[in-house]
Chain A
């Protein structure tokens, strides 16, 4: 329960509209898309400007309230969950696209602009913003930056980090920090911008973002390849890359995922197949023709059961849209979907699929696997029931063993979802105590009082 005086001060300084404190509102602002995590904040602020963010943070600081930033709450590692209560700052009413600069090929937006809204706005001007996380219809740009979100086009076009040119943010001590700009080059001092990207809301609250835009590809070709054996799909991915072809998209879905997605989209995906790959090559028409031929040849060589070409852009878009629903569609078959974000060097894909299969059997679980095969980024998802304690324990053992091997292969515990609350222990395993200590010193220099998004990334003393 928030002290009445603090609430009055907030309302007085920010206006009634910006302050939310009813129990029912607080209850639904204490989750994101990470299963099993929920914590109710004491108060929620909806700022409409940087100044309001500053004021809210000042009041929080004066009253020693922890602060947690939030966009649309679609995160998958618990980054926006206020585990120590306090103040949540919801940025999704700061949703204006401030400028699309066609001379410098940049766009400048407020923190809460929805990713797809930006994509559509720049597309109208014949430009392209490539990062497209699965939740692009809902997720906010600042959330994308804070988690360094990836997406289906990561293989060729990279992730959110590769497009951020400048950030404006508020530091925990109230300082406004502006870092980067529209210049293509900038080596003036430490690259704060790069430190802030992927910092999961622990260093600053972003209020404004400038991103790089590129010309859209002139042509594209979309393939759907079916496989009797998921390892063959893994081999196909490695071989396509080895043939020096970089498709814009190379996405995989296993049988469980295919069936759940088909239950929802009903577009005739092959229910009997062990796996499918969604592959898209794009660029100049001559290059697309050449690469498409190469992809088709390799798919046949490795032994894909069937290879289909999307007949038009509409069909290609519906396939990508279907793929984006994979995680949510898996939730059709079980109350809880525990998803992970293991990423391996691409040459290890086939081995990773084999390992997932082996561990699924060992721990007697149901697992649906999908992900960005071309990036080596897989989302093995345990379909379980949070009320079944034994099953949950087996699920965690599954991930422990999987991650141990992923790290041994030189992989990472998170390709694009972040550490948040869910993967703190795995991080220490990956970067070692020395690495964690340096990260903590960085955190301290930005946030000496530890009020910004506490409880994330690092395992706290006594936890």
Chain B
């Protein structure tokens, strides 16, 4: 725990820095980019308003009230405001830290606490348990919902969440983690060695996507090492305000990947990528600075990575289709990766890329937000779907499992023609078999 001098009405551990809230000069450039402000028109549900609330708490002018807590969780954490802020204020991060404050200042009741703890501290940090818990889900697709039913209270889900969660569940295959070899060797001229960070949702819900990612990386000339011990990146914990467990997971993954002989650490999950890139701040007080810097210098999102090293297109097979691209918030806003995925799409032979309006506007998934605020989530999603429809493209491409779930479900509900593909799946179609 990072303890320091108490700031106003925050507790002394995991509190926002005063400088970070003072930085906001209230110009309002964030307002038109904030999905929750667009929904409510309410200043307190805007980044500027949320930072002002945090500042009032920091200055002792306001207690850490229920309204402050509510805003911390109503924030989508999409980070669009960070991209929009010329002053460099990171309102999303301030709210993420306020989520941790809310766990400290208003802990959930006993039952809520134990179930929440069970998910965040027992299940997610343990890949084996996580996979076993999904076995019934695979056998009986419907039963998978029971897992969520059991944990719904702890996650404070909206009344109608169940129907939505059931509809969202993709057809589940066996988890990828036990199937992937430790080493998938490079094909063609070898360009380096990468450690593949396989995320929990990817292995459990989108094993086929990550299988393609590994295939593509190997075909692009990289030895792909997938450490089986990899634990959850910690994003769900940060999201729910459990920074302590997030730190423990971060330390584990840091040691695991730094002990490998690899040039880069690559992930195909935007949420994991954003979280891994933030380990430096999360662990600022307990970890050696040089080790952190080394780790940070190796982390790449797979789209970013392939763009940086240069996509080898010589023997790619044409994929004759049209696509549009939805930017995952945790890719474009949290990691600043926006041009690279588009460049890759344009480099795949046969693919016609159609830009949609508001490509970087959130899809309304945002981890468990879409289940907690299902009506609001639907409104955010509808805005996205109408932009997708206007392109008339065959496929909707994205690069994050949270967006993937939400968009696939939304398209199906709306009876639209598009399917959702991860960019690596599309690239996988262009990649010849060995």
> Which positions in A face B, CB cutoff 8 Å?
20, 22-25, 27-29, 31-33, 35, 46, 72-74, 92-93, 114, 135, 137-138, 261, 263-264, 325, 327-329, 331-332, 335-337
Contacts and interface: CB of A to CB of B under 8 A. Distances in A.
A24 B62 contact: yes
Which has the most chain A C-beta neighbours within 10 Å: B23, B61, B62? B23
Contacts, number: 89
B26 A73 contact: yes
Top 8 nearest A-B pairs (CB, nearest first) are A328-B86, A331-B87, A325-B86, A24-B67, A28-B49, A331-B25, A329-B86, A335-B22
Which has the most chain A C-beta neighbours within 10 Å: B23, B26, B65? B26
Given A24-B53, A46-B41, A31 B88 contact: no
B194 interface: no
B72 to A, nearest CB: 12
B366 to A, nearest CB: 22
B85 A328 contact: yes
Contacts of A35: 25
B28 A135 contact: yes
B27 interface: yes
B85 A29 contact: no
A23 B64 CA distance: 12
Given A22-B67, A328-B27, A331-B87, A28 B43 contact: yes
Nearest to A138: B28
B123 interface: no
B44 A28 contact: yes
Given A27-B53, A28-B43, A337 B86 contact: no
B86 A25 contact: no
Given A332-B87, A335-B22, 14 more contacts: A24-B62, A24-B67, A24-B68, A25-B44, A27-B62, A28-B49, A28-B53, A29-B43, A33-B25, A73-B26, A138-B27, A138-B29, A328-B86, A329-B86
Given A264-B86, A325-B86, A328-B29, A25 B22 contact: no
Which has the most chain B C-beta neighbours within 10 Å: A28, A72, A92, A138? A28
Interface in B18-58: 19, 22-29, 31-32, 41-44, 48-49, 52-53, 56
Interface size range of chain B in the complex: 20 to 34
A69 B26 CA distance: 18
Given A73-B43, A327-B27, A328-B27, A137 B32 contact: yes
A23 B62 contact: yes
Which has the most chain B C-beta neighbours within 10 Å: A92, A263, A328? A328
Contacts of A114: 32
Nearest to A27: B56
Nearest to A264: B86
A31 B26 contact: yes
Given A28-B53, A33-B25, A138 B44 contact: no
Interface in B370-419: none
B202 to A, nearest CB: 31
A35 B148 CA distance: 47
A332 B27 contact: no
A165 B158 CA distance: 49
A337 B41 CA distance: 27
Contact of B25 (A27, A73, A328): A328
Given A27-B56, A329-B86, A33 B26 contact: yes
A335 B19 contact: yes
Contacts of B49: 28
A27 B54 CA distance: 11
Contacts of B87: 328-329, 331-332
A135 B22 contact: no
A25 B28 contact: no
Contacts of B86: 261, 264, 325, 328-329, 331-332
B42 A25 contact: yes
Contacts of B53: 24, 27-28
Contacts of A33: 25-28
Contacts of A135: 27-29
Nearest to B70: A24
B37 to A, nearest CB: 10
A300 B137 CA distance: 73
Contacts of A138: 27-29, 31-32
A264 B82 CA distance: 11
Contacts of A74: 27-28
B23 A331 contact: yes
16 contacts: A23-B67, A24-B62, A24-B67, A27-B62, A32-B26, A93-B41, A138-B32, A325-B86, A328-B25, A328-B87, A329-B87, A331-B24, A331-B25, A331-B88, A335-B19, A335-B23
A357 to B, nearest CB: 24
Contacts of B56: 27
Nearest to A114: B32
Contact of A72 (B22, B28, B52, B88): B28
Contacts of A20: 42
A135 B26 CA distance: 11
Contacts of B88: 263-264, 331-332
Which has the most chain A C-beta neighbours within 10 Å: B22, B61, B86? B86
B33 to A, nearest CB: 9
Interface in B80-99: 85-88
A167 B271 CA distance: 50
A73 B46 CA distance: 12
A13 B339 CA distance: 52
A386 B12 CA distance: 24
A366 to B, nearest CB: 15
Contacts of B19: 335
Contacts of B31: 72, 138
Nearest to A70: B43
B29 A137 contact: yes
B16 to A, nearest CB: 14
A134 to B, nearest CB: 8
Nearest to A117: B32
A325 B88 CA distance: 12
A370 to B, nearest CB: 12
A264 B23 CA distance: 14
A32 B22 CA distance: 15
A117 to B, nearest CB: 9
Interface string B243-277: 00000000000000000000000000000000000
Nearest to B52: A28
Nearest to B50: A28
Interface string B7-22: 0000000000001001
A336 B23 CA distance: 8
Contacts of A27: 44, 52-53, 56, 61-62
A35 B25 CA distance: 7
A46 B44 CA distance: 14
A35 B87 CA distance: 14
Contacts of A331: 23-25, 27, 86-88
A31 B27 contact: no
Contacts of A332: 23, 86-88
Given A31-B52, A332-B87, A73 B28 contact: yes
A6 B88 CA distance: 41
A325 B28 CA distance: 11
Which has the most chain B C-beta neighbours within 10 Å: A27, A72, A329? A27
Contacts of A93: 41
A391 to B, nearest CB: 15
A337 B25 contact: yes
Nearest to B71: A24
Contacts of B28: 33, 72-74, 135, 138
Which has the most chain A C-beta neighbours within 10 Å: B22, B29, B52, B53? B29
A328 B31 CA distance: 14
A325 B62 contact: no
A326 B31 CA distance: 17
Contacts of B44: 24-25, 27-28
